[in-house]
Amino acid sequence: MARALIIVDVQNDFTEGGALGVEGGAAVAAAITEHVRQHPDDYDVVIASRDWHDGDNDNGGHFAAGHDPDFVSTWPAHCVSGTDGAEYHDALDTGLIDIHVRKGQGVPAYSVFEGTTDDGRSIVSALDELDITEVDVVGIATDYCVRASALDALAAGRRVRVLTDLIAGVAPASSEAALRELSAAGAELVSTGA
């Protein structure tokens, strides 16, 4: 069996000081880097996603335009392509990443499975080509994009583990609810013990 690590949206706009900064985001970025360095043989491939939104439109209603965001389905502008906010956080060592995924690009997108690789492939195609049957999911934010990515990995027939000490959520209650939902859907919740 082959395993992938999927790193979800460890970007400047989702860490402290960013447009939608999550408390603990920078620490998660550093901890993910340390985890991969300490376990180089655990993964056959490391995949990382980034929100990569258009700067000249509302991205299919994803950005609140002319009204306040509801922080459920509409958001302040964030992770606009070509801006520092869209870049990976400095504590995430991008040299450890094998496949980069961009998602959004004009439409709302939460799951890494809604994105495409730099060469235009779907994530399912990339996983299939590498015979990946198991994925570990880490990153930001537990209650949104980590949740959606893990659920889609399960739907794509993969065995899924969420590494609970390598994620950060927007709010405690919604993050706990997301983890309960993932567990009920068949994901394994594990700590790396770091």
Asked whether residue 131 carries a pLDDT value surpassing 90, the answer given is yes
What CATH number belongs to 2-133+142-169+182-190? 3.40.50.850
137 forms beta bridges with 6, 162
Catalytic residue list contains 145? yes
Of 51, 136, 145, 152, which is the active-site residue? 145
Asked whether residue 194 carries a pLDDT value surpassing 70, the answer given is no
Of 51, 103, 136, 143, which is the active-site residue? 103
Centroid of chain to Cα 162: 11
Q: Residue 158 in contact with residue 132, Cβ under 8 Å?
A: yes
Cα–Cα distance for residue pair 85/183, rounded to 1 Å: 31
Tell me: the pLDDT tens digits for 34-63? 999 999 899 999 999 999 988 888 888 888
Q: Residue 11 in contact with residue 79, Cβ under 8 Å?
A: yes
CA dihedral 165, 167, 170, 175 (to 10 degrees): -70
Catalytic residue list contains 103? yes
Tell me: the pLDDT tens digits for 152-174? 999 999 999 999 999 999 999 99
Percent of the chain at pLDDT > 70 equals 99
Domain boundaries, the chain: 2-133+142-169+182-190
Of 9, 13, 51, 152, which is the active-site residue? 9
Which amino acid is located at 91 in the chain? A
Tell me: the pLDDT tens digits for 86-117? 999 999 999 999 999 999 988 889 999 999 99
Pairing of the two strands 132-140 and 116-117: unpaired
CA distances from 135 to 6, 61, 132, 167, 177 (A): 7, 31, 7, 15, 21
Catalytic residue list contains 79? no
